């Protein structure tokens, strides 16, 4: 059984860890089935190899306690929102049947990230249309809710997930992708994320967003749709209690 409740869809084999690793860990702790769909194999990356990054992704998935991790196999650096890409994404969504999707920001400066954010939004809707790609036998699904992780552009979050108890394993899952990050013994070219202080800066981001909601660490998201809140008193008094 590969059906999941929440699915992280990101471009490269380490992107889910960098952005929503804490949220995936928390959702698993709460009893939900979790998954990650890496859209490319990261073959355009400056550091590491495709095979090596695939091994790192498997090891990181174990730390994140994912129920499933797959790779869509679209070409790194050449992800667009065309019918080929939409069909591949729709088939994955119909098989995995997520209720919630976590993905990149729209207008992210990395073209793959930006295109994937749009690809996810379109495919989530098309997956609910029974006459789209009918020959594969995949049944239509309810449209999943899409939440965009805030990472590269300043956007006011719609909500912040408290990951206070999960920051340490999140960082451990990130560090498993050792080909991509700082290694004083490496002879590969330095990149921004391979700089000496990058992971410290990343951890600091989690601390900052946690501070916005009065907790130790958080991951921020925005949604384009209005949120349906059943009990505003429960929601707002819980927020107030964080500061009491």
Residue 233 maps to a domain: yes
Tokens matching residue 227: 């949120």
Residue 1 maps to a domain: no
Residue 22 maps to a domain: yes
Q: Where are the alpha helices (DSSP H) in the chain?
A: 15-29, 50-64, 83-96, 111-126, 167-175, 198-212, 232-241
> What span, in angstroms and rounded, lies between the C-alpha atoms of 123 and 213?
32
Q: Which residues of 50-69 are buried (b: 16+ CB within 10 A; e: fewer)?
A: eebbeebbeebbebbebbbb
Share of the chain above pLDDT 70, in %: 96
**Contact (Cβ atoms closer than 8 angstroms) between residue 119 and residue 81:** yes
* Closest of 100, 175, 181, 94 to residue 140, by C-alpha: 94
pTM: 0.94
The lowest-confidence range among 33-47, 128-142, 181-195 is 181-195
Output the average pLDDT for the chain: 92
Q: Domains in the chain: how many in total?
A: 1
Domain of residue 215, CATH code: 3.40.50.10320
How many other CB atoms are there within 10 angstroms of residue 2's CB atom? 12
- pLDDT tens digits, one per residue of 53-79: 999 999 999 999 999 999 999 999 999
**Contact (Cβ atoms closer than 8 angstroms) between residue 106 and residue 153:** no
> At 240, is the pLDDT very low, low, confident or very high (cuts 50, 70, 90)?
low
More confident residue, 117 or 184: 117
- Please check the confidence at residue 92 and state whether its pLDDT lies above 90: yes
> What span, in angstroms and rounded, lies between the C-alpha atoms of 65 and 211?
26
In the prediction, which pLDDT does 36 show? 98
Residue 41 maps to a domain: yes
* Beta bridge mates, 37: 9, 70
- Please check the confidence at residue 123 and state whether its pLDDT lies above 60: yes
Tokens matching residue 10: 């990101």
- Please check the confidence at residue 35 and state whether its pLDDT lies above 70: yes
Name the residue range of residue 226's domain: 6-241
> At 137, is the pLDDT very low, low, confident or very high (cuts 50, 70, 90)?
low
């Amino acid at each position: 059984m590969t059906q999941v409740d929440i699915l992280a869809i990101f471009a490269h084999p380490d992107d889910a860890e960098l952005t929503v690793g804490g949220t995936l860990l928390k959702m698993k702790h709460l009893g939900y089935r979790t998954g990650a769909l890496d859209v490319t194999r990261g073959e355009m990356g400056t550091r590491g190899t495709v095979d090596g990054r695939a091994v790192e992704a498997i090891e990181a998935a174990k730390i994140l306690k994912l129920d499933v991790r797959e790779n869509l196999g679209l070409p790194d650096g050449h992800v667009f929102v065309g019918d080929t890409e939409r069909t591949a994404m729709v088939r994955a969504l119909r098989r995995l049947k997520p209720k919630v999707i976590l993905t990149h920001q729209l207008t992210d400066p990395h073209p793959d990230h930006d295109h994937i954010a749009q690809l996810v939004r379109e495919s989530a809707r098309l997956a609910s249309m029974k006459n789209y790609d009918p020959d594969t036998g995949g049944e239509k699904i309810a449209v999943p809710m899409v939440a965009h992780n805030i990472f590269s552009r300043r956007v006011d979050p719609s909500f912040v997930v408290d990951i206070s108890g999960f920051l340490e394993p999140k960082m451990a899952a990130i560090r498993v992708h050792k080909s991509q990050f700082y290694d004083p013994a490496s002879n590969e070219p330095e990149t921004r994320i391979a700089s000496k202080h990058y992971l410290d800066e990343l951890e600091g981001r989690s601390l900052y967003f946690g501070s916005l909601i009065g907790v130790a660490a958080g991951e921020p998201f925005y949604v384009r749709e209005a949120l349906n809140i059943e009990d505003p008193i429960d929601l707002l008094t819980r927020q107030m209690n964080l500061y009491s």
